[in-house]
Amino acid sequence: MRDDIKEILFTEEQISRRVMELGERITKEYSGKSPLLIGILKGCFIFLADIARYIDLDCEIRFLSVSSYGFSSVTSGKIKIEKELDFEIAGRDVIIIEDILDSGVTLTALRNFIQERAPSTLKICAFLDKPERRQIPINIDYRGFECPNEFVVGYGLDFAERYRNLPFIASLKPEIYS
Ligand code: IMP
Ligand code: MG
């Protein structure tokens, strides 16, 4: 697995420091509230597990499963919400927890899906942001790192369901996904 890595972009130490900062910011900004964190599976699973432990609030944690990529590394431009909504959004302070913001297609569709269900407030927290790849402009409220325009894996992010367990963010050698 490690032989497939081209370069480590964000180390374990950088990640844990940044995730702690974001969690502490959310704790301050939502003081006295009980936010509803909605993790977007599967890529968010490590980020959400880590950041949740720095959010010192009475929050609720839920998940939605959305697919857009399948086994390809380019976006299909469509998303599918694969899990039925079995919780209430209306009136809640919702924070979407996403692994990476790339074209913006997934988050835009998701944001609309949640907005239609009348949350009291809605913010977006994305671990990585690749602004160069944006097709739809979208504002993120909490961002871990700006990521170069490269396909990356690790810390929950996969290529064909592999590499999610790498503790850092890395780019892959081009021969792996071409
Ligand atoms: P968007 O709809 O193009 O913004 O894509 C967002 C989704 O694509 C993310 O939730 C990821 O699952 C996936 N994705 C985008 N870029 C990468 C990457 O570099 N590595 C792994 N998954 C990615
Ligand atoms: Mg994803």
Question: What pLDDT does 81 receive?
Answer: 75
Confidence grade of residue 79 (pLDDT, cut at 50, 70, 90): low
Mean pLDDT, range 102-108, rounded to an integer: 90
Ligand 1 atom with minimal separation from the 66 CA: 10
Mean pLDDT, range 118-137, rounded to an integer: 96
Residues with CB under 6 A from ligand 1: 43, 68-69, 75, 98-107, 151-153, 157
How far apart are the C-alpha atoms of 165 and 114, rounded to whole Å? Answer: 29
For residue 21 the two structure tokens come to 């900062």
How far apart are the C-alpha atoms of 151 and 112, rounded to whole Å? Answer: 26
Q: Which residues are catalytic?
A: 102
Query: Structural domain tally of the chain?
Result: 1
Q: How much is the mean pLDDT over the chain?
A: 92
How far apart are the C-alpha atoms of 153 and 160, rounded to whole Å? Answer: 10
Q: Which of 117, 110, 45 is nearest to 81 (CA)?
A: 110
User: Each residue of 116-126: pLDDT tens digit?
Assistant: 999 999 999 99
User: Each residue of 146-158: pLDDT tens digit?
Assistant: 999 999 999 999 9
CATH of the domain at 69: 3.40.50.2020
Residue 88 domain boundaries: 2-177
The rounded Cα 54 to chain-centroid distance in angstroms is 16
